[in-house]
């Protein structure tokens, strides 16, 4: 499958490399592809964002959350129609506050592009854990939010290709639940500062069944 990853930062590069190793045709989309220089991930080309989306079965939004909708709008709704869009981004203001409070970025993308099948996931963990679930002691939980069941199945398969077992994936429901995922980033930062590391996971522990 061709996976068009928008964003050439740490998250985009980590995901591109992992999915390429899993046998997918990963492509990085950059706003400055012409002057990017050598490809930052071996075997993964860097192209302009429209070319990354063209022919992709899944589009991954790994751009800064405050710029995501503007970039997707530039690509155009017709180019995104019918595609699965895996949204990893969280928006922060210059004051390090969340840019999306009353509505998550995932919800804004879905509202702006109603014919695109948006699934929010992976935004509650660091890039290293995204592609290496065994890098922490014990299991972690990854969340999914989205309105389209078929899109979620596609994303589950891609998460499995990253090494995430089925029992680590928790479906929170519709895209409105993406707000909780994004707001967790504030707690994530606090935990990271307390631990001195971003390389931790979280695990939802169910109650004991009597």
Residue appearing with tokens 């970039």: 71
Angle CA 140–201–146, to nearest 5: 65
Question: Domain residue spans in the chain?
Answer: 2-195
Calpha distance 147→78 (Å, rounded): 20
Q: Which CATH class is domain 2-195?
A: alpha beta
Residue 61 has phi, psi (to 5 degrees) of -95, 105
167 vs 206: CA distance, rounded Å: 12
CB neighbours of 165 closer than 8 A, spacing ≥ 6? 133, 139
Would you tell me how many other CB atoms lie within 10 Å of the CB of residue 76? 12
Secondary structure of residue 190 in the 3-state scheme: helix
pLDDT tens digit at each of 210 positions of the chain: 999 999 999 999 999 999 999 999 999 999 876 656 666 888 899 999 999 999 999 999 999 999 999 999 999 999 999 999 999 999 998 888 888 988 999 999 999 999 999 999 999 999 999 999 999 999 999 999 999 999 999 999 999 999 999 999 999 999 999 999 999 999 999 999 999 999 999 999 999 987
Residue with tokens 């702006």: 112
């Amino acid at each position: 499958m061709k996976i068009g990853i928008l964003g050439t930062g740490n998250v985009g590069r980590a995901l591109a490399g992992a999915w390429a190793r899993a046998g997918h045709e990963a492509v990085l989309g950059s706003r400055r592809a012409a002057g990017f220089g050598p490809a930052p991930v071996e075997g993964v080309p860097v192209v302009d964002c429209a070319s990354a989306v063209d022919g992709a079965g899944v589009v991954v939004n790994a751009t800064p959350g405050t710029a995501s909708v503007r970039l997707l709008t530039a690509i155009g709704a017709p180019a995104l129609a019918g595609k699965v869009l895996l949204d990893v981004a969280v928006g922060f203001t210059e004051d390090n506050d969340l840019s999306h409070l009353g509505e998550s970025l995932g919800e804004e993308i879905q509202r702006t592009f109603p014919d695109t099948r948006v699934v929010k996931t992976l935004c509650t963990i660091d890039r290293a854990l995204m592609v290496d679930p065994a890098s922490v002691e014990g299991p972690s939980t990854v969340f999914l939010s989205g309105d389209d069941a078929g899109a979620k199945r596609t994303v589950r398969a891609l998460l499995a290709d990253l090494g995430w077992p089925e029992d680590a994936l928790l479906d929170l429901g519709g895209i409105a639940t993406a707000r909780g995922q994004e707001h967790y980033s504030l707690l994530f930062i606090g935990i990271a500062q307390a631990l001195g590391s971003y390389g931790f996971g979280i695990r939802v522990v169910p109650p004991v069944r009597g």
